[in-house]
Amino acid sequence: MVRKDRILYFRTMKYLLAAFILLTGSFVSAQNSFLDNQRVYPRVASAVKSKEDSLKKQFAAAHLSWPVKDMYVRSFKYDSQLEVWVRNHKNEPYKLFKTYKICALSGTLGPKRIEGDYQVPEGFYYINEFNPKSMYHLALGLNYPNASDKLLSDSVKPGSDIYIHGSCITVGCIPIQNNQIEELYILASYARNQGQDFIPVHIYPVRFSNERSQEYLSRNSKEDKDYQKFSTRLKEVYDYFESHRKLPLISVNKKGEYTMFER
């Protein structure tokens, strides 16, 4: 009986050890799976090969740790700029890493409200899709329509498929040059791989701190009280970030209006 018990014991330990190794290996694989999966695609692999070393050096020069752990993107329609902000730790303020020029624009100032209006949305979004095979080189999808859009936009056809992408053409998205989307795509992929599931993207009509841009917004919203109220809510978040270099909490009330809470 003793011999049989010992054989059973060793067999059990063998199976437990094998299971532990399998689970550990699966955990490590899961940790790296997103970035590894992205690198399978030729455009992403080529972008990493050509851009990663330069990005590492730029991070070092900016006294930032590589790889990016937390990032935030904000875009200004009238000013045609897209900013990338990063930080090493979540309790640190964001630091501006780079500003890209938005190279094409469709529509006018104002939020997107219906499919086919060619409007670039305005509001608070996050990256919810990585498209390594986009017809516009590489593309990062945004969660339009968000909770606010679903209440304020057309209930049947609010529109969809809003991206930050390359190829410098647009029918309602945010286009930048191919070499720029390659950098942004790599940064977002690393942030996602580091555990940032929701990379915020804020889209503003203008840079509110720019007097000329603010005047343009005022002229174009003079007869539209609803848009004045909407853009004022956006400005509250912009001002908070300018003062604190961190993001406030943003919710949507029953009317579809954005509501900001300080952290």
The answer to whether the Cα torsion of 190, 196, 199, 200 is positive or negative is negative
Is 254 within the bounds of a domain?
no
Question: How far apart are the C-alpha atoms of 251 and 255, rounded to whole Å?
Answer: 11
Average pLDDT over every residue of 109-120: 96
Q: Are 243 and 212 in contact (CB under 8 A)?
A: no
Q: What is the pLDDT of residue 11?
A: 58
In a shared domain, residues 24 and 84:
no
Distance from chain centroid for Cα 234: 17
Question: How far apart are the C-alpha atoms of 109 and 216, rounded to whole Å?
Answer: 10
Question: How far apart are the C-alpha atoms of 200 and 181, rounded to whole Å?
Answer: 16
Q: What is the pLDDT of residue 21?
A: 45
Question: pTM for this structure?
Answer: 0.87
For the chain, give percent helix, strand, coil, nearest 5. 40, 20, 40
- Strands (E) across the chain are located at 70-76, 81-87, 95-101, 123-131, 139-142, 163-165, 174-175, 200-204, 249-252, 258-261
**To 10 degrees, what angle do helices 2-39 and 42-61 make?**
80
Q: What is the pLDDT of residue 24?
A: 46
Q: What is the pLDDT of residue 90?
A: 87
Average pLDDT over every residue of 140-157: 97
In a shared domain, residues 10 and 54:
no
Q: Are 144 and 162 in contact (CB under 8 A)?
A: yes
And the tokens for 27? 């955990």
Confidence of residue 26 (pLDDT cuts 50, 70, 90): very low
Ramachandran category for residue 13: left, alpha or beta (phi over 0 → left; psi -120 to 50 → alpha): alpha
Domain extent for 90: 42-220
And the tokens for 193? 């791989």
Q: What is the pLDDT of residues 251-261, one digit of tens each?
A: 999 999 999 99
In a shared domain, residues 48 and 103:
yes
Is 251 within the bounds of a domain?
no
For residue 115, the domain's CATH number is: 2.40.440.10
pLDDT at 206 over 80: yes
Among 174, 173, 172, smallest CA distance to 119 is for: 172
Q: How many domains does the chain have?
A: 2
Q: What is the pLDDT of residue 3?
A: 53
DSSP assignment string, 239-252: HHHHHHSSPPEEEE
Ramachandran category for residue 90: left, alpha or beta (phi over 0 → left; psi -120 to 50 → alpha): alpha
Confidence of residue 32 (pLDDT cuts 50, 70, 90): low
Is 256 within the bounds of a domain?
no
Is 236 within the bounds of a domain?
no
- Strands (E) across 30-146 are located at 70-76, 81-87, 95-101, 123-131, 139-142
